[in-house]
């Protein structure tokens, strides 16, 4: 029987069998941010341990950094945390991309952007959305604090091998429908625990048609499907995306790497433990109505009569009413889900058609300095500013609010981020997940709106 992409990459990294189904894996790449480094490096020193291989770790500050224009008004505690990470990385010999430095930004944006994330590599970070990196054919997942210490000290990780699930997307995306709609629709179909115990491979004609950055959006929400690993088999688009990037292989190393990457896609006779399918040909733009990504619906439908009464109450919604037309207060375009250049282009195409409603505060937060500079070179920032959006500095920002940037209690926010949990964007905040196009449409309309009604 043939092997899946996941099996090929996993098996190539097994160092030892530990018994009871546990295996010791080598870690090729590791990403570290300020929330993890603040504990990990002191713990390492307290145990008299050194970083096993500094060259295989890179760091950047993303969670607590302010995204205020010009980085104005940074809280003193965030400055202290950033200073500490800067010193810790320097002491450990880790390449740290400092705030504002070319290469800095949200870790799951800069990993692929720099060419640090590679097909067939194991990529780890103390953040559940590390699965984003699987879009390049990497085996990427988030780890906890004790696992982080183990990785730093040994460049290995102890894991039990999950099952395999193939999510097969077929058909062609209609106008106004994007990768974010695809993955939200899948989560809505199989549930927030539908991928639990599996490594997911996204496949099918609709996935092959996506560019690499859109595939990152798919993989980013794998954890919201209950799976900590999501992957897309590498192809010519992947290789073209990586070629020439700062940390990607060069010259003869590139030729050798490419030959290896081309061997990674699953064999024709590979079998998966579970398969699910979704034809996207008639898919409508998606919007969440509740407090889990599985609480999702077509934007032109009525709010479902769900047993989740607490979610409806929290969101201030009533079953049976159209969700379109629901007044919004905030719009957030950003996060490791949808803050790349292609996402900003999609949002800008909508923003060109109007002005942000007077009662709406709308933010655009690029995912990295590289994205910000590229967007400004294209004049996208001018499009957003002219329409009434705030154009801000890179960072996690309103996705999680770890830097104090929050949505007010009971305020309603259409967000391109990945989680709409209770309190995720602030105590009492009401979050609707959507694509960048849908978020931009909501900003202009002042309410949840169908982006297909806009000239995109």
Q: What is the pLDDT of residues 271-310, one digit of tens each?
A: 999 999 999 999 999 999 999 999 999 999 999 999 999 9
251's tokens: 């010259």
pTM, entire model: 0.98
DSSP 315-326: HT--TTSBSTT-
Indicate the CATH number for domain 286-453.
3.30.499.10
DSSP H or E stretch at residue 186: helix 179-190
**CA 219 – CA 209 distance, rounded (Å):** 15
Q: What is the pLDDT of residues 240-273, one digit of tens each?
A: 999 999 999 999 999 999 999 999 999 999 999 9
Q: pLDDT band at residue 329, thresholds of 50, 70 and 90?
A: very high
| pLDDT, position 38 | 86
**CA 309 – CA 14 distance, rounded (Å):** 46
Q: Which residues pair with 389 in a beta bridge?
A: none
Rounded (10°) angle between helices 34-46 and 76-92: 50
Q: What is the pLDDT of residues 348-370, one digit of tens each?
A: 999 999 999 999 999 999 999 99
Determine contact, residues 426/401, Cβ cutoff 8 Å.
yes
What class has domain 5-160+234-258? alpha beta
Determine contact, residues 133/215, Cβ cutoff 8 Å.
no
Determine contact, residues 297/304, Cβ cutoff 8 Å.
yes
- CATH 3.40.1060.10 for domain 163-233+266-279: yes
Determine contact, residues 234/260, Cβ cutoff 8 Å.
no
CATH topology identical between 163-233+266-279 and 286-453 = no
**pLDDT above 90 (res 1):** no
89's tokens: 């990385």
């830097």: which residue's tokens? Answer: 403
Phi, psi of 360 (to 5 degrees): -105, 135
For the four alpha carbons of 195, 286, 294 and 429, in that order, the dihedral sign comes to positive
| pLDDT, position 187 | 98
Determine contact, residues 164/248, Cβ cutoff 8 Å.
no
Phi/psi zone of residue 333: left (φ > 0), alpha (ψ -120 to 50 degrees), beta? beta
Q: What is the pLDDT of residues 392-436, one digit of tens each?
A: 999 999 999 899 999 999 999 999 999 999 999 999 999 999 999
Closest CA to 190 of 279, 293, 59: 293
**pLDDT above 90 (res 456):** no
Q: Where are the domains of the chain?
A: 5-160+234-258, 163-233+266-279, 286-453
**pLDDT above 90 (res 131):** yes
**pLDDT above 90 (res 39):** no
Q: What is the DSSP letter of 20?
A: T
For the chain, the average pLDDT equals 97
Q: What is the DSSP letter of 297?
A: E
Phi/psi zone of residue 395: left (φ > 0), alpha (ψ -120 to 50 degrees), beta? left
Q: Which residues pair with 199 in a beta bridge?
A: 164, 229
Q: pLDDT band at residue 128, thresholds of 50, 70 and 90?
A: very high
Core vs surface per residue 172-183: b (16+ CB within 10 A) or e: ebeebbbbbbbb
Determine contact, residues 237/137, Cβ cutoff 8 Å.
no
| pLDDT, position 455 | 87
């Amino acid at each position: 029987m043939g092997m899946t992409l996941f099996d090929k990459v996993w098996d190539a990294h097994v160092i030892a069998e530990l018994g009871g189904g546990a295996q010791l894996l080598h870690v090729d790449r590791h990403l570290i941010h300020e929330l993890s480094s603040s504990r990990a490096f002191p713990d390492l020193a307290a145990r008299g341990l050194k970083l096993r291989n500094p060259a295989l770790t890179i760091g950047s500050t993303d969670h607590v950094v302010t995204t205020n224009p010009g980085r104005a008004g940074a809280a003193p505690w965030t400055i202290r945390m950033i200073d500490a990470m800067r010193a810790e990385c320097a002491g450990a010999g880790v390449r740290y991309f400092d705030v504002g430095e070319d290469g800095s930004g949200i870790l799951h944006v800069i990993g692929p952007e720099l060419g640090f994330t590679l097909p067939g590599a194991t990529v780890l970070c103390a953040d559940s959305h590390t699965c984003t990196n699987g879009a390049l054919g990497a085996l990427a997942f988030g780890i906890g604090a004790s696992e982080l210490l183990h990785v730093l000290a040994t460049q290995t990780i102890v894991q039990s091998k999950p099952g395999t699930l193939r999510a097969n997307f077929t058909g062609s995306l209609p106008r106004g429908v994007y990768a974010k709609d695809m993955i939200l629709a899948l989560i809505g179909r199989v549930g927030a625990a539908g991928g639990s115990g599996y490594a997911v491979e996204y496949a099918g004609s609709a996935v092959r048609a996506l560019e690499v950055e859109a595939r990152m959006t798919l993989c980013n929400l794998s954890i919201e499907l209950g799976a900590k690993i999501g992957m897309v088999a590498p192809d010519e688009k992947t290789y073209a995306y990586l070629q020439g990037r700062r940390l990607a292989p060069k010259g003869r190393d590139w030729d050798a790497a490419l030959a290896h990457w081309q061997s990674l896609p699953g064999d024709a006779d590979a079998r998966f433990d579970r398969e699910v399918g979704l034809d996207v040909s008639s898919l409508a733009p998606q919007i969440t109505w509740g407090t889990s990504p599985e609480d999702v619906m077509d934007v032109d439908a009525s709010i479902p009569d769900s047993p989740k009464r607490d979610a409806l109450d929290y969101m201030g919604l009533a079953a049976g009413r159209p969700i379109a037309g629901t007044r919004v207060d905030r719009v957030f375009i950003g996060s490791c889900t949808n803050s790349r250049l292609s996402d900003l282009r999609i949002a800008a195409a909508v923003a060109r058609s109007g002005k942000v409603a007077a009662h709406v505060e709308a933010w655009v937060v690029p995912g990295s300095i590289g994205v910000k500079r590229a967007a400004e070179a294209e004049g996208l920032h001018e499009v957003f500013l002219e329409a009434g959006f705030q154009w801000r500095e890179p960072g996690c920002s309103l996705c999680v609010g770890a830097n104090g940037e929050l949505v007010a209690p009971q305020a309603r926010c259409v967000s391109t981020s990945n989680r709409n949990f209770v309190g995720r964007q602030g105590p009492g905040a009401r979050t609707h997940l959507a694509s960048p196009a849908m978020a931009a449409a909501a900003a202009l309309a002042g309410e949840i709106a169908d982006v297909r009604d806009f000239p995109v």
